[in-house]
Amino acid sequence: MNEYAQRIGRLQQKLQAHQLDGMMITQNVDLYYLTGSMQTGYLLVPAEGEPRFYVRRSVARAQEESAAAVEPLGSFRGFGAQLAQTFPQFASGSAVTLAAEFDVLPVQQWQRLQSVLPHVVWKDGSMLIRETRMIKSPREIACIREAARIIDGALENALAGLKPGMTELELMSAVEHYIRLHGHIGVMRLRGYNQEVLTGVIGAGEAVARPTYFDGPAGGQGLGPAVPQSASRRPIERNEPILIDIGCCIDGYVIDQTRTAVIGDLPDDLRQAYDVSEAIIRSVESMLKPGTLCEQLYLHSLVMAQEAGLGDHYMGFGDDQVKFLGHGIGLEVDELPVLAKGFRYPLEPGMVIAIEPKFTFPGRGVVGIENSYAVTDTGFEKLTVSREGLIQL
């Protein structure tokens, strides 16, 4: 059985467990995950049997790429009848319950589906597909491992040219130039509504500590209100923390890592906070094994931050603190599982998680570390290969 058939099979098991007749997949990343093609259309996955990919554009490319059978999508008004030809169990007059990705499916598009399939009862299947994608195959992990190798080269290349007076944007451009030449696809995909990520966040001093809408512990000043995050045109100075939170996407799969650098030295309290971030990640690593509940890792890190007297600065500051320690990565930056209170998933082999303990000091900067890990049968593999420790230049 090939990998795409295995993925479909895992999703079908979840559909059957929730007594659903099938699932309509519409989002690009989910389509790619289940078929190997990111062409525009609708993938109908029945609870039993073979799926069918109804493609609007490009049919020729989908036929070339897709592991699922492809059928040209005719007039949308006739989509219900077209579905019934292949799946008579979904014909009008039958009691049909289908899931859809309510977390990413636009209301307007859902209403169009309702209009052509008026007999269908729709359920939210967002968590079903996200949980299916949560467990990575060796091939997926290999892609993330390669992305980690490339981002390490980009980090070292950028650091070699870093000097006082260089702007955050120039440093980010050095990273982006390197990874693009080495196969970065040019985007880092996010699932969250209205969330965007550039190559990551690079910022120094008070600029990177500026809060923003992005759901993370470090925002960045950005280039203005239209892009209120990450690198700005602010010059990087001596003796201030430089947060380098960067990623790379190879064959659709992302790596996420953070390193802290300084030209000169940091004030004692910021250096101590950085040391605590490394102590947290080392302690969490000792718990990173199958069976550990995701929320345990976050709660453990929170206790460590508070015991160090840094609870007010942990993962942001004030009203802008975020309430997580890490997140799954894969085809998107914000995958399951989340290391946060209430997420009681036990760790399983095949999960890939970015763990990012950081401390924010308004007006002064952000320090911390982030590594990405694959959970294995006996513990973990650290996928991130970049050197650790405070990088002093």
Tell me how far apart the alpha carbons of residues 293 and 218 are, in angstroms, rounded to a whole number: 26
Enter the tokens of residue 9: 């099979």
- Average pLDDT of the segment spanning 119-144: 98
Q: How many CB atoms lie within 10 A of CB 369?
A: 24
305: alpha, beta or left, given left = phi > 0 and alpha = psi -120 to 50? Answer: alpha
Report how far residue 15's alpha carbon sits from residue 2's, in angstroms, rounded to the nearest whole number. Answer: 20
Q: Using alpha carbons, list the distances in angstroms from residue 164 to 33, 75, 367.
A: 44, 60, 19
Q: Which three-class secondary structure state does DSSP give residue 64?
A: helix
**Are the C-beta atoms of residues 355 and 325 closer than 8 Å to each other?**
yes
Residue among 168, 357, 153 at smallest CA distance from 248: 153
Q: At what angle do helices 28-35 and 3-17 cross, to 10 degrees?
A: 120
At residue 119 the predicted structure's pLDDT band, cuts being 50, 70 and 90, is very high
The domains located in the chain, with CATH, are 3-133 (3.40.350.10), 135-392 (3.90.230.10)
245-298 tens-digit pLDDT: 999 999 999 999 999 999 999 999 999 999 999 999 999 999 999 999 999 999
Amino acid at 393: L
> What's the pLDDT band for 1 if we cut at 50, 70, 90?
low
User: For the segment 290-340, what is each residue's pLDDT rounded down to a tens digit?
Assistant: 999 999 999 999 999 999 999 999 999 999 999 999 999 999 999 999 999
pLDDT tens by residue, 9-62: 999 999 999 999 999 999 999 999 999 999 999 999 999 999 999 999 999 999
For 159, 165, 213, 240, the CA distances from 267, given in Å and listed in that order, are: 21, 20, 28, 8
* CA 32 remoteness from chain centre: 15
Extended strands (E) in the chain: 22-25, 40-46, 52-57, 69-72, 96-100, 120-124, 200-204, 242-250, 253-262, 326-328, 335-339, 352-355, 358-361, 365-368, 371-375, 380-382, 391-392
Sign, Cα dihedral of 213, 214, 218, 221 = negative
Provide the mean pLDDT of the chain: 97
Among the ranges given (59-68, 92-101, 134-143, 272-281), the one the predictor scored with the smallest mean pLDDT? 92-101
User: What pLDDT was estimated at residue 93?
Assistant: 84
> pLDDT (tens digit, 9 = 90+) per residue, 171-188?
999 999 999 999 999 999
| C-alpha span between 237 and 242 (Å, rounded) | 9
Going from the C-alpha of 384 to that of each of 66, 258, 341, the distances in angstroms are 31, 10, 25
Residue 294's pLDDT is 98
Angle between helices 126-134 and 28-35 (to 10 degrees): 50
